[in-house]
Structure 1
Amino acid sequence: MNGPPRLLVLWCPDWPVVAAGAAAGTSPLAPAAVFSGNRVVACSAEARRSGVGRGMRRRDAQSRCPELVVHQHDPDRDARLFEPVAAAVEAQAVGVEVVRPGIVAVPVTGAAGYFGGEEALAELLINEVEAQAGVECQIGIADGLFAAILAARRSAVVPPGDTKAFLAPLSIAELNQPGDDRGELVDTLRRLGLRTLGAFAALAEHDVAGRFAKDAVTAHRLARGLAERPPLRRALPPDLTVTETFDDPLRRIDEAAFVAKTLGERFFAGLANHGLACTRLAIVAVTEAGEERVRVWRCAEPLTARATADRVRWQCEGWLTARDRPTAGIVRLRLDPEEVVGGQALQLQLGSMGRDADAAERAGRALVRIQGLLGPDAVVTPLLDGGRGPAERVRLVPWGEPRRPVTEDRPWPGRLPAPSPARVPPRPPAALVLDAVGDAVRCTERGELSYPPATVAIDGRPPRRVLGSAGPWVVHPSTARVQVVLEGEDDDLALLLEATVGDNPQWTVEGIYD
Structure 2
Amino acid sequence: MQAPARSLVLWFPDWPVTALRREATTRPRADAAIAVFEKNIVTACSAAARAQGVRRGQRRRDAQALCPALTVVAADPVRDARAFAPLVARIEEHAPGVQIVRPGLCALRARGPARYYGGEEEAARTLLRLLAADDVLDVRASVADGIFTADQAARTAPDAATVRIVPPGEAGSFLAPLSVAALDDDELAGLLSRLGVHTLGDFAAMPVSRVRERFGERGTRLHALAAGWDSQPVVPRTPPPELHRTVAFEPPLDLADQIAFGMRVAAEEFVAQLGAHNLVCTELRVVLTGERAERSERVWLHPGSFDAAAVVDRVRWQLAEDGQGIFGSGVASVHIEPEAVDDAAHHAKGLFGAGSDERVHHALSRVQAMLGHRGVVTPVIGGGRWLAERQVLVPWGDRAVTAKDRSRPWPGSLPDPLPATVYPEPRLIEVTDIAGATVTVGERDVLSAPPAVLVTGGQRRRIREWAGPWPISERGWDPLRRRRAHRFQVVDDDGGAWLLVAEEGEWRAEGRYD
> TM-score range with shorter-chain normalisation?
0.3 to 0.5
Q: What TM-score results when the alignment is normalised by the length of structure 1?
A: 0.48
Q: Which has the higher contact order (CA 8 A, sep 6+)?
A: 1
